[in-house]
Structure 1
Amino acid sequence: MKLDVNALGTFYRMAREGAGLAAGRLTHMTDVETRVGVTKLNFMRGREIERDFDDGADKVGVRVKLTGAIEGYSVIVFERENALRMVETLLEESADEFDEMTKSAATEVGHIMNSGFIDGWADVLETVIDVSTPEFVEGQTAEPYFGTIDEAPGENDLALLFQSQIETVGTEVGFSHYLFPKQGSMSRLLEQLRTSDGIDYDKLDGFDRMAERGAEEVAKTATTLTGIETSVEIRRLNFLSLEAIPEQIADETLVGVAFEFDGVPSGYLVFLFDEESAHEIVEAMVPTSVDEEGFGQMGTSAIKELGNIMASGFLDGWANVLDTTIDHSTPEFIHDIGAAAVDPVIIQLGENQDFAFVFDTVVVADGREFDCEVYAIPDEDDLERALNNLDVDRIEDAPTTAEFQEVDNA
């Protein structure tokens, strides 16, 4: 199975169009104004889907089977409280549990939204996709939702999933939308949509594992330099429009570093910390006190040093696996609010492309206030060349080459 940026771009437009139709139908049903939030195509492994579900929260969902141009299953999953909120609006009465009436109402809402997505896909593809009778599902884990679906990915299998958010006035109706297509159905669709030789899917799978190794190296480096034990908590590969990247950045003051990297592939690498995490890092790395309102020369240098060495660990691993050279620029310090922290990178990328693969990682400290979001955004043409040259057998054996001295925090 092969894919390319044009095919994924069509999938992305399908997702946006479907989310727009779903939002419009939700507005029509509930008389509540809505708009489409962030839309992403996620490449996720089965274990990552299970981890998303295994958060202790009660959930409900609506599942339908698809036939026609796309075969498989479409599943919409809500937090239980969000589903009850929608049902209350629809029924115009309070609801605190799912009885026969509220289940029926929730199923109808989920079915209308599923149908909105699917009709949007059919419109973009100019084809027909049929939908089965909706099924109401509830539970805290992934098993009730996906356990009986043959098309759902195994623990280590990489699946292409759609994730959208619909926002209502005054609140957010967050939900996850999972599409589990049959492989033969997806292969036929990709073949129709590709405009280039494309990328073998197993190469993308390999590059995803390569990025995971890079993220683990980042965590090791952060532990060594700061003395704060860190680990990778979340990591997934997204495909989304450039304009959507700033939408997912937290609207708060952020501190970080940005790099441009050059080689095969080329692109940009950004490390972002919230302000409190950045101060925690500086206090760990710099023996003297730092002004809480700013970072000064020593604080800025500490953040840049950490970013520089993390970038080397991340990119050197890529270069070793790809048997090439990837150089990165000197770190550019970032201290800005929300989307403004990544706007310069987006503007430069936008000169040559509309979409991007984004390796989205969170590095978390154990018991300390230290979260680091990592955005690796390769140039799409370079990425296709790099993946076509990728030897997936090298991934587990190729070393990272970052070298650094441990920091004495005594």
Structure 2
Amino acid sequence: MKLDIKALGTFYEMAREGAGLAAGRLTRMTGVETRVGVTKLNFMRGSEIQKEFDDGRDKVGIRVELSDGIDGHSVIVFDRESALEVVRILLDSADADEFDDMSRSAVTEVGQIMNAGFIDGWADVLETAIDVETPEFVEGATADAFIGDLAEAPNADDFALLFQSRIEAVDTEIEFRHYLFPERESMARVLDRHRDPNSVGIEYDKLAGFDEMAKQGAKEVASNITTLTGIDTEVEVRRLNFASLEAIPEEIDDEMLVGVAHELDGNPSGYLLFLFDEQSAREVVEATVPSPPDDEFGDLGVSAIKELGNIMASGFIDGWANVLDTTIDHSPPEYIHDYGAAVIDPVVIQLGEDQEFAFVFDTVMRANDREFDCSIYAIPDQADLERALNELDVEKVADAETKADVSIDELENA
């Protein structure tokens, strides 16, 4: 299966159009004001999809099987309390706290109408008809309950293209997510119909290989952080997103963030950002500065964070360069201390001069026993990424040397 930016862009517009229709139909049915949140195409391993479902929360889902225009399953997933809130609104039942036949029917109807909104939007963009089977009510707390019996759901090590949309209810405690699990051969046919005939395209398996390289790089970053700071960290979330540039800032937490940004020069070029919440940044300063200053974000603190940024950047991209048999340089770290999306807006503006969409390698690392989170955003230039992937030998990825060519001691003494 080959991917190209034009076809993926069509799919992205399909997902966004469907989310808009679904949100409008939920509002008309319940009177609850809604807005479309993040819409994206995720390339995820089956193990990460399972983690997302296995979050310890009871959930309720409505899933429908699709055929003809696209084969697969469309699934609306509410957390249990949100589904009960839908029941209370529709049935005017203030004390609804269990699912009987009537409440199941109410949630199923809402889920079916929302699924239909997504599907109608996809059909409009794809200019095709999509057949829909009878909706199925599902409840549980694990991935197995919702997707365990779906043939198109990926196994733990499989790399899958997954459509995700989030619709937010305004001033109401209703949370839910939407997933499209397409059947791979059906997806390949649709992609092929919408490909740019002048594009070389990207082999799907090579994108999976590059994702594995990013995962290895993230593990190396976690190892470097542990060595330098003594903070035992591990990679918790890994996914590769395809989204419009304008949607990327929506993923950034609305809080004060501290971090560093690097510009990459090579094949591929692009940008690499490491972002900490303020408490995590304080942990970095306290762990790396012998006598931590009262102001963690003064000159000494900034220097410590920039130094760690250099080490993390080397750990993340050296494996890429080794496998691609190329050189990827990174600029000196640019210190960032700003609120929410403002930390990434300059990158989006710069990339937006030449492209509308981007692949984003999105990683979160956490420490088990400390207040420490680090988000990594690697955003390659899309033309460079296509060239790099066409040259990638997937068989070399598993044996790639991911260790940084520059040691931590050398960087500390630089």
1:303-318 residue pairs with structure 2 within 5 A?
303-318=305-320
1:320 and 2:317 aligned = no
SS at match of 1:41: strand
Q: Which residue of 1 aligns with 2:409?
A: 405
- Deviation track 1:52-109 (CA, whole Å, cap 9, x = no partner) reads 1222110010111101110111111111111111221122222211111110011111
Residues 367 and 406 (structure 1), Cα distance of their counterparts in 2 relative to 1, 3 Å cut: farther
Compute the displacement of 1:172 (Å): 5.8
Q: In percent, how many aligned pairs have the same letter?
A: 70
Partner of 1:198: 201
In the alignment, the residues of structure 2 paired with residue 325 and residue 353 of structure 1 have an alpha-carbon distance, to the nearest angstrom, of 23
Q: TM-score, normalised by structure 2?
A: 0.96
CA contact (8 A) 1:236 1:359 kept: yes
Match of 1:346 among 348, 351, 355: 348
Matched ranges for 1:370-385 at <5 A: 370-385=372-387
Where do 5+ consecutive residues of structure 1 fail to align? none
* Stretch moving more, 250-259 or 87-96: 87-96
Which residue of structure 2 lines up, in the alignment, with residue 184 of structure 1? 185
Distance in 2, Cα, partners of 1:248 & 1:173: 19
Given that 2:220 and 2:403 are in contact with CA atoms closer than 8 Å, whether structure 1 keeps it comes out as no
Q: 1:133 aligns to what SS in structure 2?
A: coil
Tell me, yes or no, if the aligned pair for 1:226 and 1:407 is still in contact at 8 Å: no
Contact 1:260–1:329 (CA under 8 A) maintained in structure 2:
yes
Could you say which residue in structure 2 is the equivalent of 1:85? 85
For each residue in 1:220-246, what CA deviation from the matched residue of structure 2 results, as whole angstroms up to 9, or x when unmatched?
011011011110011111111111111
- Whether 2:47 is the aligned partner of 1:47: answer yes
In 2, Cα distance between the equivalents of 1:90 and 1:4?
Answer: 43
Alignment partner of 1:334 is 2:336: yes
What is the one-letter code of the residue matched to 1:67? Answer: S
Aligned partners of 1:383 and 1:103: how far apart in 2? 47
Deviations 1:290-314 (A, max 9, x none): 224x511110000000011100110
Alignment check: 8 A CA contact 1:228 1:366 kept: no
Contact 2:84 2:97 in 1 (8 A): yes
- 1:193 Cα offset (Å): 0.9
**Alignment match, 2:123:** 122
Report SS of the residue matched to 1:10: helix
Is the Cα contact below 8 Å between 2:164 and 2:180 reproduced in 1? no
- SS for the counterpart of 2:329 is strand
State the Cα distance separating 1:155 from its structure 2 match: 1.0
Q: Say if 2:274 and 2:309, in contact at 8 Å, map to a contact too.
A: yes
Quote the Cα distance in structure 1 between the aligned partners of 2:293 and 2:165. Answer: 41
Q: Is the 8 A contact 2:322 2:400 kept in 1?
A: yes
By how many angstroms is 1:175 displaced? 2.2
**1:23-42 to 2 correspondence within 5 Å?**
23-42=23-42
Question: 2:279 matched to which residue of 1?
Answer: 276
- Output the TM-score relative to the length of structure 1: 0.97
Count of aligned residue pairs for this structure pair: 407
Q: Is the 8 A contact 1:225 1:407 kept in 2?
A: no
C-alpha distance in structure 2 between counterparts of 1:245 and 1:98, whole Å: 37
Cα distance in 2 for partners of 1:379, 1:286 equals: 35
Quick check: 2:213–2:397 contact (8 Å CA) kept in 1?
yes
State the match for 1:226 in structure 2: 229
CA distance in structure 2 between the aligned counterparts of 1:123 and 1:21, rounded to whole angstroms: 11
Letter in 1 for 2:317: L
With 47-56 and 169-178 compared, the bigger mean Cα shift is at 169-178
Output aligned runs, 1:265-304, within 5 Å.
265-292=268-295, 294-304=296-306
Contact kept in structure 2, 1:363 and 1:373, CA below 8 Å: yes
Question: Is residue 14–residue 120 contact of structure 1 (8 Å, CA) maintained in 2?
Answer: yes
| C-alpha contact (below 8 Å) 1:266/1:378 kept by paired residues | yes
| Structure 1: 4+ residue segments shifted above 4 A | none
Aligned counterparts of 1:237 and 1:201: Cα–Cα separation in 2 = 13
- How far apart are the structure 2 equivalents of 1:172 and 1:321? 47
Structure 2 counterpart of 1:253: 256
Match of 2:137 in 1: 136
CA distance 1:324–1:389, change in 2 (3 Å)? same
Is this contact kept in 1: 2:43–2:239, CA < 8 A?
Answer: yes
Cα distance in 2 between the residues matched to 1:301 and 1:349: 27
CA separation in 1, counterparts of 2:27 and 2:13?
Answer: 21
Counterpart residue type for residue 46 of structure 1: G
C-alpha separation in 1, matches of 2:194 and 2:411? 52
The alignment partner of 1:52 has SS state of helix
CA deviation vs aligned residue, 1:128-184 (integer Å, no higher than 9, x gap): 001111000001111121121111111111111111111122146432322222222
Name whichever of 20-29 and 184-193 sits farther off: 184-193
Alignment RMSD (CA, Å) = 1.4
For residue 219 of structure 2, the aligned residue among 212, 216, 229 is: 216
**Do the aligned partners of 1:254 and 1:272 also contact (CA within 8 Å) in 2?**
yes
**Structure 1 residue identity aligned to 2:265:** D
